[in-house]
Structure 1
Amino acid sequence: MTATAIRVQGIEKSYKDLHVLRGVDFEVASGSIFALLGSNGAGKTTMVKILSSLLKADAGTAAVEGFDVATESLQVRQSISLTGQFAAVDEVLSGKENLVLMAKLRHLENPGGIADELLAQFNLSDAGSRKVATYSGGMRRRLDIAMSLIGNPKVIFLDEPTTGLDPQARIDVWQTIKDLARNGTTVLLTTQYLDEAEHLADRIAILHKGRIIQNGTLDALKRLLPPAEIEYVEKQPSLEDVFLALVGETAEEQKEQEASR
């Protein structure tokens, strides 16, 4: 049996007369990628804030790694990490200094060694000594995720992780997220991008007007609609295909460019 990392039952949340969450239920298996898919205002960020013990629900229960988010918030915070919609990095510091600072705040031994390992893991070693103000958007997001992994949290919440990134940077972040799950980290990500959920998630829950209206694997969700009968299909490249074909670079070329900026 697969262990459950996150369990949500009947969660409700309102702001005065605005009902944001209306009885949300779902479970996330350990070591999986779970996408909470919904449009702006659907309640995705509110759900993440409740799960990370930053916000109290009006009703219902939620547990992360077996700890109740309402009554065992300290244990929950020790088990998780949260990355918001915008990279929370200090632009005045270098990439390595950001990581060292976070390691010191968590009272970990050998913060410099931890920083070097994460810089290598996220292909940022060459830029580690540079100020974050010189980083591209994709580099900042990778550094932000690297910072969230300090202390080896079992669960990581990624709230709109690719907001504002260009297509190449999005793909880089997608690969980072896949690597996290491959190494055993449970990932819950919120997104409004259909292709993001399609590329990454083991399971997808669609949150609409404060309720989960569907929850399942990509194949199961696709079976909700009948297949279209088309005699001849000529697959046209997407705009993303064209963009990456024209300006795409190898990982090594991109690394060299980032290091020279």
Structure 2
Amino acid sequence: MINLRSFAGQPLTCTRMCFLVNCLKRLKSSQQWLSRQNADPYVEKAKIHNYRCRSAFKLLEMNEKTNILTPGLTVVDLGSCPGSWTQVAVQKTNADGADPTKPRGKVLSIDKLQTFPIEGATIVNHMDFSTIEAHDKVVELLNGKMVDLVLSDMAPSATGVRELDKDRIIGLCYMAIRFAALVTKVDGNLLFKVWDGKEVPILEMDLERFYKSIKILKPQASRSESSEKFILARGFKGIQRPLQNGRWEN
């Protein structure tokens, strides 16, 4: 039993009390997370199938329904660490050349963090995808190719303030949309994660300006208590660029 009147032999000031309460909350949250992980069948499946984390099954399930990943496609995975979506993308696009009878795709992954090598994928570490430097690097690595599909399973680190966290992930979504608009071929697709909230319908309306169809997906592998869902935008319309003679092109 912790004595709330003193901590480590010192009187508890308001600051010390707040620190102690936050530590206890984090301890409880960590214990709940460990219990949930131990009871999660997808965690065990990820180990069996050699995926780096359970999120691989979210993409596998969504691909089963939508067929957005097929051999020969060029795919960019934003915020790829630890790499489970990249693993799935490599397998489904045949980027590792595992099946010589099918077209060989290309998978490029980018993250601020370190993603360990994945056979068949080109990985760009320690780079913020939203920067001009990252865009130029991706264009260089694609060697003139445009992208068939942009993936994003990114989410910001939680602050514990619900509205602030939602605003931050919406910001990430718009950055992913902007990136996709610069590298995606006409009729290409975008799949990204968002947390449910009042901002999502506005996000969908903005997407409709650039894509032919918008679909909301909630895979079974996504935990039932989670507010996450995924938006699939299909059929990129292209963006108009002005020419010197005053005309426009897609």
TM-score by length of 1: 0.33
Which is greater in Rg? 2
- Specify which structure has the bigger relative contact order, considering alpha-carbon pairs within 8 angstroms and separated by 6 or more residues: 1
TM-score by length of 2: 0.34
